[in-house]
Structure 1
């Protein structure tokens, strides 16, 4: 079954670089962005459609299905990528707990807005 864009748990987000993310917010679609589970227990029709305006806010078309979607190899690749990202996240958290300082931002970012003024 293709992704159900009318489901309240479906989300599509397009970034400034043109990349589009299509996903199930509950992470119940292992073959996202191409397919939803056939009889998804969390499917609920959206009452108010967020794509009501005609123009660039319309959800872009679904990308073509890659080879290997039916035999499970695409899901295996996505699972492997998720496992890798979870490991990296655990390593970052371990670094934070050990007190390894993050890289200096050299005055960039939000810190420039929160400088102390006065006694300088």
Structure 2
């Protein structure tokens, strides 16, 4: 009786692992750009509750003073992140809002067939220098 169940359980586990998603952002972080007349304190005050649930939203830091870009943090375990982000985007003083996505290093080599003749554009530290020092 147990033998027919084992392959089913193993296949279920295998397919569950295949569909697992990798986190691509800092959970609970939102980057917000305000209009020049916008007030971050007022925005945070307006976002203290979302659908009657406290968001625990805080101002982490100002990322760019000239562009009025701020990093905010909220309790992602209590509210739906995507719905909350859409709510932030609808605020009148907000120009743009997005999740704080994680960056990753990537090296892009063009598919130009003559790229091997243009090696000087790829700084790989070939003359005892540091790779990507420029």
TM-score by length of 2: 0.21
Larger Rg: 2
Structure with the largest fraction of strand: 2
Which structure has the higher relative contact order (CA within 8 Å, separation 6+)? 2
